[in-house]
Structure 1
């Protein structure tokens, strides 16, 4: 069976990555490819690596251009998806790669995004407890943020198993510059980024913080508090997340490792490395895989988990296509069999 697919925001990094993955998907036919300021332009002039679609013209991102497809990917800035999604037919599978429908708490949305909450959709991170079942047959899916994807994959097994304390959770993550989008910004110039790292959104101000707390709290069954510090790394793509939490009394290294390995046993895209081997961002470059390792710091009474993903693939477009496959009843790995690229 072939499904017709429209992709909005196709001139940006996330939309371009969706198209890159769909190009090798055997069950889709790409219809409308849309943009805003770049509408009317030739896709190949903006995304020259997408040879299959190079001669396609970008059309305006309107309900009229997106309607009539089986699947619509919305790769739009936060706050831009909800109005369009609300006007698309109920039987269209709409996959929002923006933030509009991720949060369950309207107050958290209003605090961090400053507008009215648009509602909550099934969450497109299948590896979370119960998430896969909620995606089967869904017609609205919210793709997680890239940082929350890596952070939740890093620590949710411990919370779900009841091994971690709900307070004093610390997440520090380094992301490639593509995570900031494709718009020209002075602090993202090559001369500013090369050979340098910097922190931003420090002090609880990053918008992905409530999304992390939501995922951890749902897994733990109690509220979880997170301190999150993102950093900008001199690389185009990839995330290295270091996540730590205090373990409950009596929990040892063996119990921790058992919880993580059991949680991801049989998962096609999440891999716990053998003891002594630590993940590098290069291991997942261009793939939908997440690779992680954990250690027990007995002196501090904390578990430390290192998790790497490609922010554009597993962190955005790959997670979106994976969720689409589940919703449509296709094999989950369809179109996502790419391995990492090295060196």
Structure 2
């Protein structure tokens, strides 16, 4: 079966990555691409790497243009997709790669984004551990993919948020780490900020330097991380000090997260929590003890690679996770989630193989 697909925001980085992956998907047919200032121009002018899609022309982003497709992927700036998603009447599946439908608490939206709040959709991180309760109150641990099956509206994750959540959720779910006093420092590529011209993202400003930003608890992905960790069974409200640092690589995230180990927990129990959580996963892999990932190992792939160590002197676990912010962090997660929602084999159109050198 072939599903008709429209991509809104097709001229940007996230839109381009969606199209790159969708172009090799055997069951998705890209019929419509839309843009804003680029509307009316050939897609190939904005995405010259997508040679197989040279026949497509960017159209205006309107509900009328998007409606009627089987699937619509939104790759619009934060706060922009909500006005369109509310007007779709005949779309089987909508997937938003922006933030508009990620947060379940309107107060979090007001505090970190502002503007009109839109309802939360099913969260698109299939491997994320979710805590539920049986009728007798006993905890049941599942994965988010079970909530994605049959979904009609999906919120793809923030790339930084999913990297940190995947890094820490196994330890919280297993009860081997504490959910307060978490520290995460991320080296990130500037493509996560989008394609719009900004002085701080110019090559001359980035080359040869590392630049921290959104320091002191102001980054917009913080409430999304806390939301995911609560969902994994955190006792009490998770607290996290989160600091992203722009580094001179076009794409990629290397997240180093540390958390306190619950007293009395052995190093073997800590490692087992992560290995057990991801043992059956294709796209999230725990590396052997003593090995740690590089962003280069995930370039272009739908993989999140994780290495961890126990710092016994500090009483903390150190988790290092790497992924491609445009692939597994955004477009890959969106397509993987769409596959699950539609009953297509989860890995269809996606690869665990990166590009090297």
Q: Give the TM-score, by structure 1 length.
A: 0.98
Other-structure match for 1:306: 320
Other-structure match for 1:207: 220
Q: CA deviation at 1:42?
A: 0.9
Distance 1:270 1:167 in 2: 24
Q: Is the 8 A contact 1:112 1:207 kept in 2?
A: yes
Q: Is the 8 A contact 2:189 2:251 kept in 1?
A: yes
User: Would you say how many aligned residue pairs link Structure 1 and Structure 2?
Assistant: 343
2:144 to 131, 136, 145: 131
Q: Is the 8 A contact 2:32 2:56 kept in 1?
A: no
1:161 to 164, 168, 174: 174
Q: Is the 8 A contact 1:175 1:238 kept in 2?
A: yes
Name stretches of at least 5 consecutive residues in structure 2 with no aligned partner: 130-142
Q: Is the 8 A contact 1:252 1:296 kept in 2?
A: no
Correspondences of 1:81-160 after superposition (within 5 Å):
81-89=81-89, 91-129=91-129, 130-160=143-173
Other-structure match for 1:286: 300
SS for the counterpart of 2:217 is coil
Q: CA deviation at 1:7?
A: 0.3
Other-structure match for 1:7: 7
Other-structure match for 1:327: 341
Distance 1:79 1:187 in 2: 22
SS for the counterpart of 2:86 is helix
Distance change in 2, residues 1:73/1:274 (3 Å): same
Other-structure match for 1:45: 45
Distance 1:114 1:303 in 2: 35
Q: CA deviation at 1:165?
A: 1.2
Other-structure match for 1:232: 246
Q: CA deviation at 1:226?
A: 1.0
SS for the counterpart of 1:171 is strand
* 85-94 or 97-106, which deviates more: 85-94
Other-structure match for 1:25: 25
Other-structure match for 2:287: 273
Other-structure match for 1:250: 264
Distance 2:178 2:68 in 1: 48
Q: CA deviation at 1:330?
A: 0.2
SS for the counterpart of 1:220 is coil
Other-structure match for 2:191: 178
Other-structure match for 2:140: none
Q: CA deviation at 1:307?
A: 0.1
Q: Is the 8 A contact 2:2 2:29 kept in 1?
A: yes
Distance 2:234 2:318 in 1: 21
Q: Give the TM-score, by structure 2 length.
A: 0.95
- Once the two structures are superposed, residues 281-336 of structure 1 have per-residue CA deviations (whole angstroms, 9 ceiling, x without a partner) of 00000010010100011111100000000000000000000000000000000000
Distance 1:115 1:226 in 2: 25
Matched, 1:192 2:221: no
Name stretches of at least 5 consecutive residues in structure 1 with no aligned partner: none
Q: Is the 8 A contact 1:90 1:139 kept in 2?
A: no
Distance 1:152 1:197 in 2: 24
Other-structure match for 2:59: 59
Distance 2:276 2:171 in 1: 11
Other-structure match for 2:73: 73
- Once the two structures are superposed, residues 249-289 of structure 1 have per-residue CA deviations (whole angstroms, 9 ceiling, x without a partner) of 11121001100000001101011011111100000000100
- Once the two structures are superposed, residues 142-164 of structure 1 have per-residue CA deviations (whole angstroms, 9 ceiling, x without a partner) of 00100011101111000111111
Distance 2:91 2:350 in 1: 25
Other-structure match for 2:137: none
